Structure 1
């Protein structure tokens, strides 16, 4: 499956750049991965840039209103989407003000990383690591230890 990770901006902190690079590189062992960093001066401009970057791919927004998954649950959800014929998924981490209501309404799904508010840079790393972990679970590999 092709996974398109879309973020508003790039990781700015050194630990986040290292984590983002590490987990997106690992993720490429399991999926075709595309990375897009978009910009916008307003939430509306950011949302427009995200929608354009996603193209026709089903868009999954990271949003606190979304579904929370365990690692196994995320793995199962991704497997089900792949079996359902989804050849590509686009995941988007919004800017500091989040996604617009219009983008949320157009999204295929909303995914919450949890009830805590995470710094933007850290949310990017958590997204990449969670997708990597879910991929190793699907592959039956030992990275995930429950």
Structure 2
């Protein structure tokens, strides 16, 4: 499965850059990974949709569904079995996602009811995906 991370902006703080690099590298053991960084602008919807192409579109959004690590693992496995070769995870800018993007999404994922700083959300997303990947493989990281 290919995981495509589409972010408006990129991690700026040192801890987030290091966290991104660490979990991005770890995820590379389980998936093909790719990142597209978009510039922050009023409405990047069209750029996000172009970057995602035909991928299974899974933006992070506070209106989305909360998943446990195990549920995320199952969801990723189900997407892979459905024939989608790529999942595009989207982290929006400070204004979030447009209604158009939410409507075109296959699945809206909410990591928490809390609002995270952009840098932290990027790291938490990668760690959650790494944890879900270890669960799918029956590896002990998640314990």
TM-score tier, shorter chain, comes to: over 0.9
Number of the residue aligned with 1:27: 27
Give runs of ≥4 in structure 1 deviating > 3 Å.
Answer: none
- Contact 1:2 1:88 (8 Å CA) reproduced: yes
Please tell me the root mean square deviation across aligned C-alpha atoms, in Å. Answer: 0.7
Number of the residue aligned with 2:100: 102
**What are the equivalent positions in structure 2 for 1:56-71 lying under 5 Å apart?**
56-71=54-69
**Tell me, which stretches of 5 or more residues in structure 2 are unaligned?**
none
Number of the residue aligned with 1:92: 90
- Contact 1:62 1:91 (8 Å CA) reproduced: yes
> Normalising by the residue count of structure 2, what TM-score does the alignment of the two structures yield?
0.98
Equivalent residue for 2:115, pick from 107, 114, 117: 117
What is the number of equivalent residue pairs in this alignment? 143
Give the match's secondary structure for 1:56.
Answer: coil
Number of the residue aligned with 1:36: 36
Number of the residue aligned with 2:5: 5
Q: Note the C-alpha offset of 1:103.
A: 0.7
Deviation sequence 1:1-53 (CA, Å, 0-9, x none):
001011001100000000001001100000000111111420x2x22221111
Matched, 1:138 2:136: yes
Matched, 1:15 2:32: no
Q: Note the C-alpha offset of 1:90.
A: 0.4
**Tell me, which stretches of 5 or more residues in structure 1 are unaligned?**
none
